[in-house]
């Protein structure tokens, strides 16, 4: 199996990836095809696919932020069981991020991820792919070391329609397992940067970010 980076919407594997995203994720979580042009060409955004027999069977997108020495996992797709895709993607992603941090003269501090909470929202079926079941994904990410930020979290819809999307948790996987809180300023600075591509921010999201100014730290809770 090959771990290959995609840097252009004209890459034949990107069409396969975008079709796969449309089958797996709800519409509000998928950026329009043409709007991927700039993100894919951005050197800080890393989109990799797992290719097996010329078929895109999995993918992961993530970013490394050298100023904060943290990463953000945008998404992970596992389309088939029995290929150890989860481990393949997680191991290759971590290896890549550790190299980026090393080039930055540091050891990676940790990685953010948004995780569906199926105990609050049950309708996300992820294209009927059992290995993408929200209950399964939540436990896998817990095993990887992700912890939930003690925060009433919403995020702007990727359809850029000003709607707030709920039913997710913002989580963080610290490299040092003893880390049990994050500076509120880190989260407050990170979220606007991460969502800068979306011009239409919902009021609920703006209020959430503003409230972070009133906190010194945010506890990390079990997932």
Residue 25 pLDDT greater than 90, yes or no: no
Tokens of 167: 């039913």
Residue written as tokens 């970013």? 63
**pLDDT tens figures, 117-126:** 877 765 555 5
DSSP string computed for 161-196: SSPEE-SEEEEEEESSTT--EEEHHHHHHHHHHHTT
Question: How sure is the predictor about 31, in pLDDT bands with cuts at 50, 70 and 90?
Answer: confident
DSSP assigned state of 43: T
Question: How sure is the predictor about 131, in pLDDT bands with cuts at 50, 70 and 90?
Answer: low
- At the topology level, CATH places domain 2-221 in Aminopeptidase (3.40.630)
Q: Domain ranges in the chain?
A: 2-221
């Amino acid at each position: 199996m090959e771990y290959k980076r995609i840097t252009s919407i004209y890459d034949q594997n990107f069409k396969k990836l975008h079709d796969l995203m449309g089958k797996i994720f709800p519409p509000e979580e998928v950026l329009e095809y043409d709007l991927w042009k700039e993100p894919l060409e951005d050197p800080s955004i890393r989109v990799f696919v797992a290719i097996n027999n010329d078929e895109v069977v999995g993918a992961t997108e993530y970013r490394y932020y050298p100023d904060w020495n943290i990463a953000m996992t945008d998404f992970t797709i596992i389309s088939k069981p029995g290929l150890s895709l989860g481990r393949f993607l997680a191991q290759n992603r971590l290896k890549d991020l550790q190299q980026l941090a090393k080039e930055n003269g540091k050891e990676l501090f940790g990685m953010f991820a948004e995780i569906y909470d199926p105990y609050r929202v049950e309708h996300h079926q992820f294209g009927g792919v059992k290995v993408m079941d929200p209950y399964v994904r939540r436990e896998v990410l817990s095993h990887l070391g992700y912890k939930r930020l003690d925060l009433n979290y919403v995020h702007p819809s990727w359809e850029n329609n000003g709607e707030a999307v709920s039913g997710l948790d913002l989580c963080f996987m610290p490299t040092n397992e003893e880390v049990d809180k994050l500076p509120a300023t880190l989260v407050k600075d990170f979220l606007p940067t991460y969502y800068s591509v979306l011009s239409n921010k919902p009021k609920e999201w703006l209020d959430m970010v503003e409230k972070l100014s009133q906190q010194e730290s945010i506890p990390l809770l079990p997932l």
